[in-house]
Structure 1
Amino acid sequence: MSDASGTDASGTLDEALERLHTTGPERNGWLTNHAPMAVEALVRNGQAPTVHRWLDHYAPKLEELPPPSRPVTAAGWREALGDPARITDWTRFFGRELDEHPWREVLAGWWPRLLPGISASATHPVIRTGHAVRTLLESEEASGAGGATAPRVAELAHALGYWAARSAPLPPLGALAPAPSAAAALDAVPPVPVQKGGIRDRLPQLTALPVWGAAPDPDTARDRLVELVTAATHRYATHGHGEPVMLVHAATAPNAVLRTLPALPRGLWAPSLAAAWAAAAAVTAAYTPREATAWTPTRLTPEEVFERAAAHGDDHTIKFTDTALDVGDPLALAAAARSIELNPPAF
């Protein structure tokens, strides 16, 4: 049994993570394994009974962990940063770090090193990290400091290891005119010149982004990050048709950062906002359509919207709906319903 507080008396999440930790974070060379993120969202939103059936359906897409190369060390980590051939080396490194130090300490130490590469692998590593951290925070809230189970701590090692191995900073970016709000800033993001190919073909075309999100203090940074997640979620309702799968990340990536803030020192909140804005804007630039469409309200409750997303089965739809429920207003629910319409069902 599970509920929106994140508790999972059935143990389903731990069982699912243990299944998944024998598999790699990617498939077919670079496509992301979305299962750890999707099952966390399913459990948290009351769909634990569906998890193992969902995993059975997803399992043919999974691949074994890549073979290790050579250990990543605390002294020599820089030469391994951004080397996808070292994914398993990085995962093992973070596993050792988390065995020896509290997870919050490891996260705080590595977060500023990883933030410059937030857009790596279409932002999936930071999204996986956000799901892992949310689970750890809620485990502590439910059971105290010792409430984090071994599979949940191991999931953070897998998420951080994936991020470190795929770290890839955006190109140097110029500054466009300042925008008064997150919504206006997203509207002002210029599309990349060549709207073809995958995200690895599109992000190198970025040259400049609107100025938005300067935060004089941590609390303002958090408020503006909430504003960004809300604006990106809302924008999907009118622009998601441009690329229904990829544009969900304009919302889910900054929301992953927002979920992580409570576990970070407050001094890291402002740079986290800046990185989240760059990631959301980069995805928007890569896939934004020429024209917006009108949005249609949904009469479904939040619970009903997520039930439909779970039945639909698409991993991106599940994760985006999870973010839309965090936002929680009518336009966010309409955006979630729109993602169910636009993305092909998995079942």
Structure 2
Amino acid sequence: MDTTGTLDEALDRIHLSGPERHGWLSNHAPMAVEALVRHGQARSVHPWVDRYRHKLEEMPSPTDPIAPADWREALGDPRRIADWAQHFEREVAERPWREVLAEWWPRLLPGIAGGATHPVIRVGHSVRTLLSGTQTSPRTVELAHALGYWAARHAPLPPLGHLEVAPSAASALDLVPPVVDRSGGIEQRLERLTAFPQWPAPGASTDGASESATAIADTARERLVELVTAATHRYATHGHGEPVMLVHAATAPNAVLRTLPALPRELWASSLSAAWAASAAVTAAYTPAAGTTAPLPTTRLDPAEIFARAADHGDDHTIKFTDTALDVGDDLALTAAVRSIELNVPFR
């Protein structure tokens, strides 16, 4: 919980800007500052935003309000980013934020990979703050902007075939076939996806009719924890393939995991399925031909020291990945965090 007021101040500054720049690149500031405050680095937030400010662009002008009866027509239209932001600002002003989230989560979930998964990651950071601290205007507006960004960039994956059954999340990620044509950015690469391994295994997943609703939800959460752990660990050995983009294979499912407590439990199973699709898609688009075979040295740093190094490093993706690695918390996850600090370019 932030008792300094720094997070609210930073969010107020950031909300003058849109969620993107140059028509595609994501504004990472709200996610990074939430992680910095979360891990005791509040005093570094405003200097970090000062340095990041040149990457921010003004929120685009709204064009036409989102009509309740016609929201499907506007879904996935990035030209309506400002319209969507205003729509959700009205929604969270008029209704409890949990109610808004529960209504829109299943609508947005099929497009989880849109915006290179940044919208759902932004939602995850926002929800974590709302769940653990005082509900303030900047924090509910942040959720509104995150949901609006997701709605504007909503982009379902192409129809996918089913490959062999994988016994674990780690083996499933290992079995994800890489996109052969690596030309273009993530949007173009995701269009070339064809099939994913089956995980969780059919019959062992979370939609069995014989299971109680409670068991289904609990299993979904357990599998999601497994996926976040596997993707975080995998960065330690495969992050060199694309140090920036591959962090999302872990941070996207972790955003879903962070959001579960705010959602009705009947949405947890579909949340797992979407999180797996997002993690597998990023893996397919950027995984290297081979992982690191040399033994990875175990870091001697404690979690607080590792995050302090990530904060000093300053790269937004490194900060967010280290935040996820600390959620996992085991030795290999901490090693992966240190690896991200080594692989990514510092932000000064």
Query: TM class, shorter-chain normalised?
Result: over 0.9
Q: Which residue of 1 aligns with 2:124?
A: 130
Q: What SS class does the counterpart of residue 225 from structure 1 fall into?
A: helix
Question: What is the deviation of 1:296?
Answer: 2.3
Q: Which residue of 1 aligns with 2:187?
A: 200
Q: In structure 1, list runs of 5 or more residues that go unmatched.
A: 1-6, 140-146
Q: What SS class does the counterpart of residue 191 from structure 2 fall into?
A: helix
Question: What is the deviation of 1:200?
Answer: 1.2
For residues 139-176 of structure 1, what are the alpha-carbon distances to aligned partners after superposition, in whole Å with 9 as ceiling and x for unaligned? 1xxxxxxx300000000000000000000000000000
For residues 249-281 of structure 1, what are the alpha-carbon distances to aligned partners after superposition, in whole Å with 9 as ceiling and x for unaligned? 000000000000000000000000000000000
For residues 282-341 of structure 1, what are the alpha-carbon distances to aligned partners after superposition, in whole Å with 9 as ceiling and x for unaligned? 000000001111322111100000000000000000000000000000000000000000
Question: What is the deviation of 1:73?
Answer: 1.7
Q: What is the TM-score of this pair, normalised by structure 1?
A: 0.96
Q: Which residue of 2 aligns with 1:144?
A: none
Q: Which residue of 1 aligns with 2:213?
A: none
Question: What is the deviation of 1:201?
Answer: 1.6
Q: In structure 2, list runs of 5 or more residues that go unmatched.
A: 209-215
Matches within 5 A, 1:105-116: 105-116=99-110
CA–CA separation in structure 1 for the residues paired with 2:41 and 2:124? 19
Q: Which residue of 2 aligns with 1:345?
A: 346
For residues 66-108 of structure 1, what are the alpha-carbon distances to aligned partners after superposition, in whole Å with 9 as ceiling and x for unaligned? 1101000211111100000000000100011111110000000
1:235 aligns with 2:229: no
1:80 aligns with 2:81: no
CA–CA separation in structure 2 for the residues paired with 1:10 and 1:222? 32
Q: Which residue of 2 aligns with 1:54?
A: 48
Question: What is the deviation of 1:196?
Answer: 2.6
Question: What is the deviation of 1:195?
Answer: 1.9
Identity, in percent, stands at: 73
Q: Which residue of 2 aligns with 1:18?
A: 12
Question: What is the deviation of 1:193?
Answer: 1.1
Q: What SS class does the counterpart of residue 68 from structure 2 fall into?
A: coil
Question: What is the deviation of 1:9?
Answer: 1.3
Q: What is the TM-score of this pair, normalised by structure 2?
A: 0.95
Q: Which residue of 2 aligns with 1:96?
A: 90
The partner residue of 2:149 within 159, 162, 173 is: 162
Structure 1 residue ranges, 4+ long, deviating more than 2 angstroms after superposition: none
Paired residues, number: 334
Q: Which residue of 1 aligns with 2:290?
A: 291
CA–CA separation in structure 1 for the residues paired with 2:326 and 2:194? 33
Amino acid in structure 1 at the alignment position of 2:272:
L
Matches within 5 A, 1:33-72: 33-72=27-66
CA–CA separation in structure 1 for the residues paired with 2:181 and 2:300? 38
1:319 aligns with 2:313: no
For residues 188-229 of structure 1, what are the alpha-carbon distances to aligned partners after superposition, in whole Å with 9 as ceiling and x for unaligned? 000011123210121011000000022240000000000000
